[in-house]
Amino acid sequence: MQENKKKQVLLVGNPNVGKSTVFNALCNKKQKTGNYAGVTVASHSGNYTYKNEEVEVIDLPGSYSVYPSSEDEAIFSKFLIDEQKNYAGVIYILEALSLKRGLLLFQQIQDLGVPMILVVNQIDQAERRGISIDIQKFSDALGIQLIQTNAKEQVGIDQIKEAVLKNGFVKADKNSFETPNEHKDFIQKLAAHKGLDNEYKAWMSLSLGTDLGRIESIKDLMNEPDSKSLVPKRLQVQETVRRYQNVDKILADVISKKAQFKELLTEKLDKVLVHKFWGYVVFLAILLVIFQSVFFLAEYPMTWIEDLFSWLAAFTGEHLPEGPINSLISNGIVPGIGGIVVFAPQIGILLYFLYLLEDSGYMARVVFLMDRLLRPFGLNGKSIVPLVSGTACAIPAVISTRNIENLRERLLTILVTPFMTCSARLPVYSIIIGLIISEGTFLGIKYKALVLMGMYLLGFLVALFSAAILKRFIKNEGKTYLVMDLPTYKKPLFGYDLKMVLGKVWDFITGAGKIIFIVSIIIWFLSYFGPKQNPDQFVATNVELDHSYLAKMGKGIEPLIEPLGYDWKMGVGILTSFVAREVFVGTMSTLYSLEDDAPEVKVIDKMRRDVKPNGEKVFSFATGVSVLLFYAFAMQCVSTLAVVYRETKSWKWTGFQVAMMTGLAYFVSLIAYQILK
């Protein structure tokens, strides 16, 4: 490798071994870590500089084998093999509590001739379970030096950097897997024919089945055994069995466990947390605490933010020169952005609790627990990862379906995940719940918290119901089973998770803020100007909101939305929110600020007192329920649509998803309003 070229290394290991934590520690990045499989579903890269050497670290998706069974493992295998000439070596992460599982992939990579640095993470967790590992014997048996780490505490990170600096990547002297005698001659001839430098690459080519079309002609020439003995899946099973036999021999000599070791807290907690009845009760109780906190803890910071933006709107309105610029800033941009920023505390609190649950190891139990519940609906336990992730954002949630092996289950999960209540829906829910639900409590729990939890559960139930229907129309690729290791419970990194949350909240504010800024300017322009009574002439002067271009557009779609209980302003909000759901709140904030000369009055109070020409409240209980249901089901996020298309590579399924969700949203909202009005 040239001296002036950045050194590139791969970070590799099984899912849930602390690989992303090591990546964050090396590169000082804020990639999300989670204590369940499937967090990293695409390669991520980061850089660090150590003793004047710049190194690029590529964090590949976790995998159990070089033979992919899911989309994320396919990304891993392709990069590992195809890019072999471009990287200096592999930093392989083993977890001390799952050595046997991790050594399978380690030996496969070794036999490919890839130079490696071996890291054993979380040895302290093994010791707590009474498991002792003879590091020296282990190192000698594998023929490679081991680095011990505790990545969350930054222990061993400098040793990894030092090993990379000194090019401490080691190639195996010999293959750990011996080709079975019945295939040996053919493998040797195939390796020579393809110019491969070791037999295992030829064996892997056969086991993957990627070159079988070319191999058929070679077999005829070489008069090899019939093709039944060369079925890729059988070769993979044969290799796995032999490798595990070899791994068992190694571990028997290096691992010792204390007899009758005291049961740890993990085992005690799991008797309740994964119980077939109490497990669900505890999960619902945890959700209830989270949603109560979303309203209770966020109350004061939300009030401060509202007061700040109200003051800012009044200040700009008073000190800027009279005219369009004054109106644009004080009645358009400031209220619009303030309408989104005010919900940052609620989003932050929700995300923080979710991160703590992931970090602690509890979310892995939720995956296990939900497998039993999701199976009848055509999904499996791994589907809960994108479904739960969807409560933050549907975009990474859809990408995380790559961890699902079965194609039908993956497609079903992609199609129903957008029903989950994402953080973009939270501002809409919060403002509507605040308008139509009283401040009372039930058993000490706020009515608003109960309704918000109900909206989250509604999204989950509709996702299940939709999957149950769709599974009848999507061909099944075979029965699947959930096999997973439950990690030990760990103390969450409260400070690190808080930094992660602050970064995510800032991303939300800046991302939504850019959209709101543009939308606010457009809405202000359309609301500030309007046509003359003579339709052939136009004026460039301020008009009343009801006579503006915006009102003209909104009233044009009013016949379509009036059966749902919406007026033209809500119609404009729904149209603009097709870009992103949270834009609805910013749009309403701008609209209600434009038609009111009292900037010190909160937007929610303006919305609460607004009435229709017939004297009926605009935001009545029936209308509020209709809005909640519309946003619970409607597919209003262009970015999510783009990701769905990228993951399915099908306009048919993407279009179907839009039509299904939007049609359902309109129908349910219509029925709800007509019944409740």
Strand, helix or coil at 317? helix
Residue 18 assigned ligand-binding role? yes
Provide the CA 640 distance to its chain's centre, in angstroms. 12
Residue 14 assigned ligand-binding role? yes
425, 426, 431, 432 alpha-carbon torsion, rounded to 10°: 60
Element counts in the chain: helices (H) and strands (E): 30, 10
Residue 540 assigned ligand-binding role? no
Gap between the Cα atoms of 122 and 131, Å rounded: 12
Residue 577 assigned ligand-binding role? no
For residues 118 and 210, the answer to whether their CB atoms sit within 8 Å is no
For 297, other C-beta atoms within 10 Å of its C-beta total: 15
Residue from 35, 77, 28 nearest 50 by CA: 28
For residues 486 and 367, the answer to whether their CB atoms sit within 8 Å is no
For residues 583 and 576, the answer to whether their CB atoms sit within 8 Å is yes
Residue 59 assigned ligand-binding role? yes
Gap between the Cα atoms of 36 and 62, Å rounded: 11
Residue 321 assigned ligand-binding role? no
116: which strand partners? Answer: 90, 170
What's the token pair of residue 368?
């296990």
Residue 123 assigned ligand-binding role? yes
Largest CA distance in the chain: 94
What's the token pair of residue 409?
């289950």
Tokens 């001390």 locate to 96
Residue 24 assigned ligand-binding role? yes
User: Helices in 375-493 by DSSP H: which ranges?
Assistant: 384-389, 394-399, 407-416, 425-436, 447-470
Residue 236 assigned ligand-binding role? no
Gap between the Cα atoms of 321 and 28, Å rounded: 47
For 295, other C-beta atoms within 10 Å of its C-beta total: 21
Residue 62 assigned ligand-binding role? yes
For residues 14 and 121, the answer to whether their CB atoms sit within 8 Å is no
What's the token pair of residue 327?
């109106």
- Residue 395's φ and ψ, nearest 5 degrees, are -65, -60
Residue 563 DSSP label:
G
List CB contacts of 69: < 8 A, sequence separation 6 or more: 405
Residue 644 assigned ligand-binding role? no
List CB contacts of 91: < 8 A, sequence separation 6 or more: 9, 10, 11, 12, 22, 57, 116, 117, 119, 160, 164
Gap between the Cα atoms of 471 and 2, Å rounded: 54
Tokens 């209220």 locate to 335
Residue 38, judged by CB atoms within 10 A of its CB (0-12, 13-18, 19+), counts as: buried
Residue 16 assigned ligand-binding role? yes
For residues 131 and 123, the answer to whether their CB atoms sit within 8 Å is no
Residue 122 assigned ligand-binding role? yes
Residue 378 assigned ligand-binding role? no
612 vs 560, 565, 609, 617, 619, CA distance in Å?
A: 17, 11, 10, 6, 9
Residue 61 assigned ligand-binding role? yes
The b-or-e profile of 506-530 (16+ CB within 10 A means b, else e) is eebbebbbebbeebbeebbebbbbb
- The single-letter code of the amino acid at 360 is S
Binding-site residues from annotation:
13-20, 24-25, 59-62, 121-124
Binding-site residues from annotation for Mg(2+):
24-25
Binding-site residues from annotation for GTP:
13-20, 59-62, 121-124
